[in-house]
Structure 1
Amino acid sequence: MESERNTNLQFVDVLNEWDPFQLKGDSQYDTEIADTIQAIHELDSPEDLAERIQSIYEFSFEKNIPMNQCLTVAKQLLAIKENDSCTI
């Protein structure tokens, strides 16, 4: 349980640092981060996760994030997920 909590905190750090709309500051994306973390637990494909991330942020901000940016962050997030599942 502690491991999952730490992993989720790593996801939050990556997503806060990403700041795709340059809003500067934590808690600007709390809802989107929560939705993205749920998606990370559901999906294992970088492409599928990137599409979900793009749609989550587009729904909230009515702005499109280029897919290559979403794919980059999706790969980072899935690498964290993979590392966590390897340490039991």
Structure 2
Amino acid sequence: MQMQQTNLLLVYTLDQWDPFGVGPGNYDTEIADSIQAVHDLDDQVELARAIQSIYEFSFEEIIPLENCKEISGRLLEIKNNGFCAM
């Protein structure tokens, strides 16, 4: 899968995640930062902690690490395999 297609799928996956229930389309900054983290990290737990920190910084609320591990696993699968197993 081309990088652009991978990134679009990563954006879609994160946008649909909606951890704070504010609706898709309200996480542009967090999504951009999270996608950078996906490209920088290969460990699911490290990525989960990075995502947790990114969203906490913006929303001043902590997402449970288990929720972040779930999404980080999906994101790494997209990155590594070029498809989404939702």
Which of the pair is proportionally richer in helix? 1
Give the CA deviation at 1:40: 0.4
Q: CA RMSD in A?
A: 1.0
- Structure of greater relative contact order (alpha carbons < 8 Å, 6+ residues apart): 1
Tell me whether 1:65 sits opposite 2:63 in the alignment.
Answer: yes
Structure 1 segments (4+ residues) deviating >6 Å? none
The aligned amino acid for 1:7 is: T
- Provide structure 2 residue ranges, at least 5 long, that are not aligned to the other structure: none
Residue 74 of structure 2 is matched in structure 1 by 76
Report how many residues are paired. Answer: 82
Unaligned runs of 5+ in 1: none
Structure number with greater Rg is 1
Aligned to 1:11: 10
What percent of counterpart residues are identical? 51
TM-score scaled to structure 1, two decimals?
Answer: 0.90
Separation (CA, whole Å) in 2 of partners of 1:30 and 1:78: 19
